Structure 1
Amino acid sequence: MTNLRFLSLKGCNKLRTLTLDSSSVSSSSPLGTLEHLEFLDLDGVSLDTIPDDVGLSKSKLRYLDLSCPTVTSLSSLFFKDISNLKELFFLGCTSLKSLPPSFATLFNLKTFSLSESQLMFLPTETFQHMPKLCDLTLINNRSLRALPELAGHACLKSFTLSGSPITHLSLHTCRSLETVCFHDLAELVELDLSATAIKEFPVSISELHRLKRLHLLALPQLRRIPWHELKHIPEVLNLDQCELAGSRIHLTDSRLFSSFKDEALQKFVEEGGPLHSFHISISSCNKGNEIKNKDIGFIYQFHHKKPSCYKNIPLIASTFDHQFVQSPHFNRHVEISSPERYPTGLEGIFEVTESLSMWDDAFVSCLTDLHYRFPELKECRIRRCHHMDSIFKANAAYQGNKLQIIWAFDLQKMTKILKFQPVYFVTLEFEALKHVHLEKCPRLESIFPGNMVLSSLETLTVLHCGNLRSIFYYLEVEDTYQFPRLHTIQLYELPQLLHLCKKQSVPLQM
């Protein structure tokens, strides 16, 4: 039998000794002579102890299953001579209380499974000494309160953890990690899956009801979040496809929110819900900074090198910009910058968005195309979106009842901020709009339709819009338009401005 390579004793649950003489107290066994053994399965064997020589001179052993329910421990040097082991299993080891220090010498181990043991800890730095470990499964080890360092493990691809009283877990920068599964972790309060290779948000995480902080930063391969299947979202959710620090939710693919609607909206955004307050950023990881730096350079050259008869214009414009109202704090903010594609999938998010910023976008021609209502929108800031010809389109659904701030800068194609069609000739109640700032929009012709109620307007600033001819358009009725709260008007370098409204007979009262 010295040439034996495969040995399975699986299910021999009455086998209690591996020695030749059952009455002997010697710890030696016939397995000690099997130097060519590659596969050994002792699953279910009722051994109180594993003979020391089971691991002796086993340099060729690749597979070892020690799922023996009655084994309590192993000798300190048990794993010393089986350093080429690839797969190791301790399943249903209800009596196992410890693993020897030599366990950390399994440098070539790829798969390790441990379940239902009494272990309170694993040997220190275990996983740092297992650089080839790909598959790690730890199930129902009810006394296991902490794990050796796993963060930064280069080869780990699959990790399952359940039934342990662990409170904090970091798999940060496990860059090969694609699959995780978590269940019955009643004490877990913080989980870090940043800089991993996860492609789909693990639904099992939503079952961890005590989880308070979840870090999902630098996940460029993340493609799907099934919001409608999630049961719980932690109080702090850091989700970022690009960076290891930054926005609270930062994605390159807006389609991750495609399922965020209906039940998910009600469950997570309602008062006190985990997404009652959020900051979502949709952008390219690199393109945005490149475009922004390029544009900043262009603006610098324009202001400092182009001859002008108005040499103080940059200073005055800068002064105006600083005078513009500071953005108040809104609970739900979406930021879109230099996206890699048309930002689809955000319809549900836009149902509850209070503040929207967009810059360096080359796809969107009008915000109303993204969502037809924006029922909660209070602030809108647009910058360098050169495909945009209007910010909103007036329709039967969009009324802008809560909009307070409109800020637009360098929109090369925009002709009106609100495109109005006569078929929708109704009074537009923009009763909350307080501040409007428009700058460097060279094709802007006019600003407001005449049937737009602006009873709360406080400041109106229009700078460097060379084609602007009137402030109001489509005045179809004789009436007086009142602006009881308007206290500041700044109209600067508007060489084509002829009148405030196309119908001169309509008086404006301020």
Structure 2
Amino acid sequence: MIRTPQNGQEISMAMLDGNGMCKEVLNKFCQSKPQLQLLAILNPTLESLPQAFNTSLASHPPPMTNLDILVLRGCDFLVDIGHIRELSKLTVLEISGASSLAQIPPDIFEKMTKLQSLHLSSLQIEELPASFYKLTELQRLLLKNCPKLHKLGCLEKCDNIVVLNLSGATSLNAFPCKNLEKMPKLRTLDLSNTNISNLIKIGRIEHLTHISLRGCPRVDRIPSIASLPSLQVLDISGAKNFTEIHDKSFANNYALNILDLSGTQIRKLPSSVGNPRHLCLKGCSSLEELSFMESLKNLEALDLSNASNVKIEEKFFESLTKLRLLNLSKTNIESLPYLSNHSELRQLLLSHCSSLYELPQLKNLPKLEVLDLSGCTLLKEIQDESFDRMTCLQKLILSETQFEILPSLSKLVTLRVLLLASCSRLKVLLSLESLSRLEELNLSSVTCLGETGAADFLKDMGHLQILDLSESNLKKLPSMSNLENLSQLLLRGCNQLEEVPDLQHLTKLEVLDVSGTAIRQLPHLQDLVKLKVLDLSGTALSQLPSLNNLTNLHQLLLRDCPNLDPFFQHEIPDQSVKECHWHISNLPEMITDSNRPSTSVSGSTFLKLLEKNLSVRQLLEKSPSLRETGLKQFHLSVRPVDKQNSGGIHCCGDVRGIYFQARCFPYFDEQGISLELCGFHDFPQGIDDVLSSAEYVFLFDNIFIKELYDLGAQNIKHMKGCWIERCENMQSVFHSKEEGDISKLWKNLEILWLSNLHNLTSIYSGNLQHQGLRSLKLLYLDCCPRLSSLFSSSHLPKNLEILQIKFCDNLETVVENSTSEDCALPKLCKLILFGLPKLKSIGAALPSLQDCNRIVRDCPQLQSEF
């Protein structure tokens, strides 16, 4: 509730989370609150609204008659909104995220004569109903992200519209009005990401302030905007075919603040572009030159980044004395003009200007806050005293430059970020002790820490949050007791570093990378209770530190730790390592959403485990340290090694897409060992022992699999859940050749998820004699177009509780040849059927299924069944 009753008054405003709320509960709530004026329902799973919205029904008092504002947001399953047609007092209506709503009744707005704001977004409608065009009081019309909207009638009667947003209507080819003067009160016009070609005529509209044609591929020009005296923002960015602005378009646009032409094919600017404060020409690769323009004297921000072919006239910057931001990143500029008159400059961004060989004196920029010269490989020097007057500088980025000596940094007392990564030619690192306010320091690959390799300058940097000294010549760290704010400490490849003193004080540390160092022990590691990522790969550790208190640990990396006990006591020939072209690593999306720990171990590491005949379960018993971290909750991701990477580890694929469905799955037991096999042409050698310990198996993009039996009978006997996706040669899940082992193989299987299996023709194949999947509780099928049925009446999963089938175009029945009256799925309590054009029947009784747990949509031949 966003307003609760006081002094016995009725609730007038309510916000309900409709996720899982059935129609009966919502109906009862609405009927009991007749005085409601504002109602917001978020994420409902309803197909239609409850009867309480139908004020024409006889009830005392009639519900919802006072409703002024109605918000229905995240309505994925909503297909019918007919009941709201009687809400005659509505002034604001939002129906957003209704991705299943394809039609709106023609008379829906007939009685909503007071409607002032209408927000319809992410709908599948092709046009608005006829009654919409009678809404003469409408001031705000938002039709965002309606991809099928291709027709919009004339809006001349809606002459009170102030905001018109049609962004994301990708099928809309023409603007509904030939002349915008028919909407004299219009202030904001947003046509972003539509297929509109060009506006016919704008005319004079006194109050129009914003026009956006961002991402409109067919827009190649705009009519004159000279008659828009109040225009503040003109955004044509991403209109990739836009080439020209009428030379006199900006003659009277004195109010223009922002002109964004980024990503267009404009070749030159008109002689005058009004008097903007922000001019964005990012990625204008066809822009040839910029000449001096008096009209830009009030410009505060100029972005020319990635305008790779532009040539800038030397006088161009002379009048830009009010510039606060200048971004010339990834341009071909060779030298900067003198900036002595640009004392207001706050940000100077010159990243990856590969032709820039000379900088002017920078000491006359006292207000500069950000200086980025990263990747300017031709720059050899910055003049002495350049930083002496920059008392406001907060971010200095010099990564990947060729400087050998830098000016003094001692006066940059306000500096928050200093990045010198990959400055390998730097000979002297000047005193950094005065930079006590630094929050991020990156000296990776910097090798000028002196013969002692000490980093004493860290002692007083108590504000540091990110410290990266990777691949430097660091040999010794000072006491870390004053660096209590560190969240990331990266020391990768500091091969002479033997210890991290006073580590226990870094109680906010989330990432610790000491891989490739000479560290032999990490005392007090258990005090870092916020640690999420720990990389100990390639260290000389002989014993795994206690991880008992690290309940937030998501990622533990232990690659190439030959001295680590109790794992490795045997050396194995290099040849046998090379034959195992796979590795095991973490799955970040699972980490984020379920707080499950993860591990990253190379194939050779697991071969060494197998050399000792240790299964994963035995490993838990023999390794107290790993048992404390809860390896039983680890998800193991097994992927091929990139053979072109000289034996290195290759984490391939987009795990965000792969795991998205599984992470949304509430039936995934986080206590079980889970294993992912992804991208194999042949069954990976050496994986049997790991696979046989897994209770949850994910199979993605594996060509070798035709049936699950291909994994080996002994390898899947503990499996409780199986997810199979994009295995293009998969023909059936279970085969008659499994007959002898079926009671052992599938007795534990509770979850089966099949997705994007275009050659799958059956769940069972061959002549099976067993009684089916006795333990199966959940079955999910998505995009299996060759399936015509799922089960025979003799092989029903009698314990099935949830069945979800989507986009199986040729599915005709769930249970085939169901002639017996006893054919039933007695425990099925939730059924979702979606996009099944040929489905005619279920073929089995469903005695436990309630209406509120049944969603059937786009199944035109199934209507009679329910």
Higher strand share: 1
TM-score normalized by the length of structure 1: 0.48
TM-score, normalised by the number of residues in structure 2: 0.31
More relative contact order, 1 or 2 (CA 8 Å, 6+ apart) = 1
